[in-house]
Amino acid sequence: MNGRARCGRITGAGAGTLAVLLALAGCSGGAKPAPHGAASAPGATVSRPAVPSGPYVAIGDSYTAGLKVDPAGGGVRGCSRSAANYPSLVAADLHLAPGRFTDVSCSSATTADLTAAQQVAGGSNPPQLDALSAATGLVTIGIGGNDAGFMKVMEHCAEQGVAASLLRAVDPKGAKDSPCRDSYTAADGSDKLTGVIGTVGQNVAGVLGEVTRRAPHAKVYLVGYPALLPADPARCGSLLGGAVTAGDLAFLAAQEQRLNAELKNRAEAAGAVFVDTYTPSLGHDMCSGQSTRWIEPPFPAAGRAPLHPNAAGQQGMAVAVLRSVRGG
């Protein structure tokens, strides 16, 4: 290998784009420079953890399943599982044979649907954790957003924003700057969503414990959520048409970061690896241009799912997972 850090050949849907993204993430095949001040002998190689070779089981909700990302994959129709979601791209890049990759992710899944059958259009998705066994070598999990009711929170903020806009038209001084945040603020000034996110963390901790019990030899990766909103809420003004106030956009962005922080803490406590997809997705949020965004806006491009990763988003998440799996 001559000291070169190589990433596997990518095949399947989105292969060309994913190859470029992997190159940008440091998987170009060229040797990486040694840290400043580090000594390296000629021909020396850097020891890296062994990359799991499977069997690989992918567990999760719609952000994992790849809702409305073409082409369609297998499973129950209502799960809306894509053949180009990040688990499929990861499996392809790791050169896993079909029998060594199982994707049981399903749209709308909560942590409860990992241990019990989930009823969806077209049938029932079996308990996702049932796909695990003592032979499983690699597990990715993307779950928690539906437990937190995050999409419902966003819908509530939109409703509050529309009401504030109507009020502002007749009483500019009476309209609040952050009506949604105010509605989630208790009388004592505390955030009502704090307890919700804490409960999500407890649920996810239970899932991680069960994964360890069922697949004791597997390397486990808990995948976080990519950035839905930009750091500067003003960038969304024209796209959302004032449907959500700038203050509430900042509130929503902060809540997503809190959810990711909770997931990270739970992963570390359970001995799992947390995969940060938020940082690499900055600048690719739903308010970015159509050619650069990873997340679709409330009024998405034709055939896409609103407020969900598109094909580019799934590819970006795959890069983040692969980088973690390879210890990069």
What digits encode the pLDDT tens for the residues 22-43? 443 444 333 333 333 344 344 4
Mean pLDDT of 86-90: 98
The answer to whether residue 89 scores a pLDDT higher than 50 is yes
User: Which residues are catalytically annotated?
Assistant: 62, 308
Confidence of residue 238 (pLDDT cuts 50, 70, 90): confident
pLDDT at 284: 96
Domains and CATH numbers, the chain: 15-31+46-325 (3.40.50.1110)
Residue 225, pLDDT above cutoff 70: yes
Q: Backbone phi, then psi, for 271, in 5-degree steps? A: 80, 15
Checking if the pLDDT of 181 tops 90, the result is no
* Residue 39 confidence (pLDDT): 41
Q: What is the mean pLDDT of the chain?
A: 82
**pLDDT over threshold 90, residue 171:** no
Counting residues of the chain whose pLDDT is more than 90, the rounded percentage is: 57
Q: Of the given ranges (61-75, 152-166, 248-262, 284-298), which has the lowest mean pLDDT?
A: 152-166
pLDDT tens profile 298-322: 889 999 999 999 999 999 999 999 9
Q: What percent of the chain has pLDDT over 70?
A: 76
Do 195 and 155 touch, CB atoms closer than 8 A? no
pTM of the model: 0.81
Of residues 25 and 234, more confidence is placed in 234
Instruction: Count CA atoms within 13 Å of residue 115 on its CB side.
Output: 12
1 or 292: whose pLDDT is higher? 292
Q: What is the pLDDT of residue 160?
A: 61
Per-residue pLDDT tens digits for 90-126: 999 999 998 999 999 999 999 999 999 999 999 999 9
